[in-house]
Structure 1
Amino acid sequence: MEYGFTTAAYVVASVLFILSLGGLSGQESAKRAIWYGIAGMGLAVLATLFGPGAGNWFLSLVMIVIGGTGGWIVAKRVQMTEMPQLVAAMHSLVGLAAVFVGFNAQIELARVMRARLEGVETVWTGFAALLASKTSAEIAMLKIEVFLGVFIGAVTFTGSVVAFAKLSGRVDGKPKKLPGGHMLNAGALALAVLFGILYFTGVGPGVFWLIVITLLAFFIGYHLIMGIGGADMPVVVSMLNSYSGWAAAAIGFTLGNDLLIVTGALVGSSGAILSYIMCKAMNRNFVSVILGGFGGETGPAAEIEGEQIAIDADGVASALNEADSVVIVPGYGMAVAQAQGAVSELTRKLRAAGKTVRFAIHPVAGRLPGHMNVLLAEAKVPYDIVLEMDEINEDFPSTDVVIIIGSNDIVNPAAQDDPNSPIAGMPVLEVWRAKQVFVSKRGQGTGYSGIENPLFFKENTRMFYGDAKDSINKLLPMID
């Protein structure tokens, strides 16, 4: 009866998770999708707590209270601009959990095998009872699952920690590799496989081999992500999301938990698909992403001629008042300045004046997929005027004014013109084809990715320096 209830609950939870993922494809359906996910997770936790083999309810309750309280506090404190690094931090916890589960499984397995060898009759409970019921072939498969869970989890943990540090500005966003580059990663991987074979064949203490494998995987995760530049961090976050899913699936196999297998596979596959889609949007090779082999320069960048010409709020407002069509390109700078509210108000005033206003969203704008869409929806910008790159790129030549708010790489013409640029070949928003371009930017620096942008030096571009929120607020009273 208990197994039937747990299985039924897991099936319902799996369906809810699938509905949640499917609903996230649209801004309106996403509101429902979040509740599907919450309900599915709540049901999954209850089914696990009261399912067969469960125990230590008091300790479990304490852990749930501590984790839930911590999650609530973090959710209340984290700003929308900090969501990318929060997601990376959550991925690291999933990876670390996989490592802990793998080590616990090996410790319990060692106890069971020792009792078998000594011929000791023991009444096993909990996870040990599951291990005791396994055949030799099933134990061999379990060891493979433990190896994969620990390895993928450890790579995910350190990779996500480095991603968090880069996204939060604690580590320089430029790609960095140790001498030897990819050969170091390949060597560490080969050693991990070798030690995995020794672990599988039972040569020496299993925990020792797992420790060595974990340390090697820690290095691989660290070195992979350190070698990726800031311009490519949105893809990195998506990739780590996939890794965390496969780590969770490996945990599910180890624990014999069908729901973890299903949800881990859902997260892993959806993260991989999203990474592939984003790689296509950035003209990157998917295998190179997985191996951490992109984000660096291929040669000396082309020299940029001209100078950056500044403009004040009066000049921008005058151009907006005379324009018939306006396209706004938001980027991470808008998020940092929390300018989405001011941008929404500017949009309302321009539309009230009879002007056509639209937003151009690049697939990797910001530091997290969909980041800009969420910010604009939060500010109540109408969904129907928020367009993807492919929908709006051909309209720039007929656009009177483009306002760029805190974007750099996604509007960089070097992607098309300079084969030595780190973003060479990446599809970008061709804003320079518009009649006038205004760039809202704090200063003359190259920004997070460290890539110079020739757009800022073009004749039809003017630099509107200052904090994005303050700059947009200055424009509001001047719009007729």
Structure 2
Amino acid sequence: MYANFIIEAAYFIAALLFIYGLKRMASPVTARSGIVVAGWGMVIAVVAAFLYGLDVNPRAEEHLTVNIILVIVALALGIGWAWFSGKKVAMTDMPQMVALYNGMGGGAAAAIAASELFSGNAQAHGLVVTILAVLGGLIGSVALSGSLVAWAKLDGRMNKTLRLPSQQWINAGLFLGSLALGAAITAMGAEAGVPMLLIAVFFILALILGVLLTTPIGGADMPVVISLYNAFTGLAVAFEGFVLQNPAMIIAGTVVGSAGTLLTLMMAKAMNRPVSNVIFSQFGEGGDGDDGDIEGSMKSAEASDAAIAMYYASKVIIVPGYGLAVAQAQHKLYEFVKLLQKQGVDVRFAIHPVAGRMPGHMNVLLAEAGVPYDIIFDLEDINEDFGQADVAIVLGANDVVNPAARHRKSSPIYGMPILNVDYAQQAYVVKRGQGKGYSGVENELFFAENTSMVYGDAQKVMVQMIEAVKSLG
């Protein structure tokens, strides 16, 4: 009795810590402490689940020693792998790590569903529990395989978008087939006994569906994909929490699912794509990609010239992109910013919602370099300021600053909100070469009269800019 009370109290405390931690993550100032708070909540939830298996669950008594050993081995492997990979991962690889860990969450939910269905425990607990187990298994399996494909794309292991003939019909067939098998599993119930092959085919179809949903999607759309599968994982965990009667899983899954859903809506809005396009893999199919005739020509500039122009400016806006992360130039960038600020220049950072390879990627990158939060602004908060900026500089961004999104209806990015870099008095673009962005669209900003290209690796360019500014003093 007392053990049960302690376990339930632990779950309640863990749930409170999850919610409070998520609330603190809403602000960059308190996000770090929010992660720590939620992490302690997870520790408490794991300990409570372990105690539940020891003291409350009668099904575990027969194989108690074996179960304890398996749990300890699993915890050791999980903690060891997460600690090692977390310490080792570079900032440029953070998006694929998030995708991979998110997939593990979906896979865990699917594994719980498989265990409960194969053993007949879900069916024995009634229709509602069986339905939730089936739904959680379906959604978790899609999140697992889909997240693994997203990881492969982000990590450069899958460089092409793969579209099958009649892709949407195949996806629809897999989805309906999975639902039909799930309905059959539910209808058979505990008394009839569900063939193991039927359950296995159900999970195989769900895993294939996750793969085929994700393979047609290009790398530029991965931020939306990651947030979508994050919502899927949360939903699957919540369903399996009901199956196991685990309140911590229910609350944590619900919180993650709702947060992921809201983030998906925000990402889709930032790319001017309806959520239905996210789900049905219509990314990049809105236009024919015709660049048309772009007026003007690209003009190159030396890094020193750009640095001096910013040094004597009154207001400078910096737009970071994935190229900045690849070059690991965020620390040199902030060193340069501090030199400008010392001169009295008003320097601000402009962040597009889908800059980088995951939601918030640029914010994390700048935070790692120590950039103060009060000079980092989101698109809607800073876009009107570009008209008053003496200089705007783009480091490794492309599609999110392309003016074609405003007027070129044939463009795949038409209608997407962009940062108004072209409105600045002078714009500089730091870029390795003259290649196009992920959308495959030529960037009109590069040809604008007030734009100059600074070619080179962002790290080396920033070093040259710092040296140029220091030489003035």
TM-score per shorter chain, which class? over 0.9
Counterpart position of 1:155: 142
Query: For the residues of structure 2 that align with 1:437 and 1:80, how far apart are their CA atoms?
Result: 27
Q: Does structure 2 retain, via aligned residues, the 8 Å contact 1:365–1:372?
A: yes
Counterpart position of 1:141: 128
How far 1:150 sits from its partner (Å)? Answer: 1.6
Equivalent AA in structure 2 for residue 35 of structure 1: V
Aligned pairs for 1:385-400 (under 5 A) are 385-400=375-390
Equivalent AA in structure 1 for residue 345 of structure 2: K
Query: For the residues of structure 2 that align with 1:422 and 1:215, how far apart are their CA atoms?
Result: 34
Aligned residue for 2:157, secondary structure, equals coil
- Report Cα offsets for 1:295-349 as digits up to 9, x if no partner: 3342242323433222112321232233221110001111111111011011100
How far 1:200 sits from its partner (Å)? Answer: 1.8
2:163 to 177, 192, 201: 177
TM-score of the superposed pair, with normalisation by structure 1: 0.91
Does residue 290 in structure 1 map to residue 279 in structure 2?
yes
Query: For the residues of structure 2 that align with 1:442 and 1:325, how far apart are their CA atoms?
Result: 25
Aligned pairs for 1:312-461 (under 5 A) are 312-461=302-451
Counterpart position of 1:244: 233
Q: Does structure 2 retain, via aligned residues, the 8 Å contact 1:147–1:210?
A: no
1:220 to 209, 218, 228: 209
Equivalent AA in structure 1 for residue 28 of structure 2: Q
Aligned residue for 1:451, secondary structure, equals coil
Query: For the residues of structure 2 that align with 1:107 and 1:227, how far apart are their CA atoms?
Result: 33
Aligned residue for 2:140, secondary structure, equals helix
Query: For the residues of structure 2 that align with 1:472 and 1:106, how far apart are their CA atoms?
Result: 57
Counterpart position of 1:463: 453
How many pairs does the alignment contain?
A: 455
Aligned residue for 1:64, secondary structure, equals helix
Does residue 101 in structure 1 map to residue 112 in structure 2?
yes
Query: For the residues of structure 2 that align with 1:416 and 1:447, how far apart are their CA atoms?
Result: 17
Query: For the residues of structure 2 that align with 1:417 and 1:190, how far apart are their CA atoms?
Result: 40
Aligned residue for 1:27, secondary structure, equals coil
Aligned pairs for 1:234-313 (under 5 A) are 234-303=223-292, 304-313=294-303
Counterpart position of 2:181: 195
Query: For the residues of structure 1 that align with 2:441 and 2:4, how far apart are their CA atoms?
Result: 57
Query: For the residues of structure 2 that align with 1:233 and 1:308, how far apart are their CA atoms?
Result: 29
- Report Cα offsets for 1:206-257 as digits up to 9, x if no partner: 4222222222222221121122222221111111110111111122122221
Q: Does structure 2 retain, via aligned residues, the 8 Å contact 1:88–1:237?
A: yes
CA RMSD between the two structures: 1.8
How far 1:406 sits from its partner (Å)? Answer: 0.4
How far 1:429 sits from its partner (Å)? Answer: 0.2
Which 10-residue stretch deviates more, 142-151 or 406-415? 142-151
Query: For the residues of structure 1 that align with 2:422 and 2:404, how far apart are their CA atoms?
Result: 11
Q: Does structure 2 retain, via aligned residues, the 8 Å contact 1:103–1:207?
A: no
- Report Cα offsets for 1:322-381 as digits up to 9, x if no partner: 322111000111111111101101110001011111111111111111111111122111
How far 1:99 sits from its partner (Å)? Answer: 2.4
Query: For the residues of structure 1 that align with 2:409 and 2:213, how far apart are their CA atoms?
Result: 24
How far 1:417 sits from its partner (Å)? Answer: 1.7
Point out where structure 2 has 5 or more consecutive residues left out of the alignment: none
Counterpart position of 1:207: 196
Counterpart position of 2:92: 81
Which 10-residue stretch deviates more, 301-310 or 433-442? 301-310
Query: For the residues of structure 1 that align with 2:129 and 2:304, how far apart are their CA atoms?
Result: 69
Query: For the residues of structure 1 that align with 2:415 and 2:219, how far apart are their CA atoms?
Result: 17
Q: Does structure 2 retain, via aligned residues, the 8 Å contact 1:231–1:295?
A: no
Query: For the residues of structure 2 that align with 1:156 and 1:283, how far apart are their CA atoms?
Result: 24
Does residue 16 in structure 1 map to residue 17 in structure 2?
yes
- Report Cα offsets for 1:185-210 as digits up to 9, x if no partner: 11211111222222222277442222
Aligned residue for 1:50, secondary structure, equals helix
Equivalent AA in structure 2 for residue 65 of structure 1: A
Counterpart position of 1:6: 7
Does residue 474 in structure 1 map to residue 461 in structure 2?
no
Which 10-residue stretch deviates more, 61-70 or 336-345? 61-70
Equivalent AA in structure 1 for residue 353 of structure 2: P
Query: For the residues of structure 2 that align with 1:293 and 1:451, how far apart are their CA atoms?
Result: 17
TM-score of the superposed pair, with normalisation by structure 2: 0.92
- Report Cα offsets for 1:21-51 as digits up to 9, x if no partner: 1111111111210111111011111111112
Q: Does structure 1 retain, via aligned residues, the 8 Å contact 2:291–2:441?
A: no
Equivalent AA in structure 2 for residue 228 of structure 1: I
Percent of pairs identical after alignment? 43
Equivalent AA in structure 1 for residue 402 of structure 2: N
Counterpart position of 2:81: 70
Query: For the residues of structure 1 that align with 2:165 and 2:370, how far apart are their CA atoms?
Result: 49
Point out where structure 1 has 5 or more consecutive residues left out of the alignment: 110-127
Counterpart position of 2:26: 25
Q: Does structure 1 retain, via aligned residues, the 8 Å contact 2:412–2:439?
A: no
Query: For the residues of structure 2 that align with 1:299 and 1:363, how far apart are their CA atoms?
Result: 24
Equivalent AA in structure 1 for residue 73 of structure 2: V
Query: For the residues of structure 1 that align with 2:437 and 2:142, how far apart are their CA atoms?
Result: 28
Aligned residue for 1:62, secondary structure, equals helix
Which 10-residue stretch deviates more, 164-173 or 348-357? 164-173
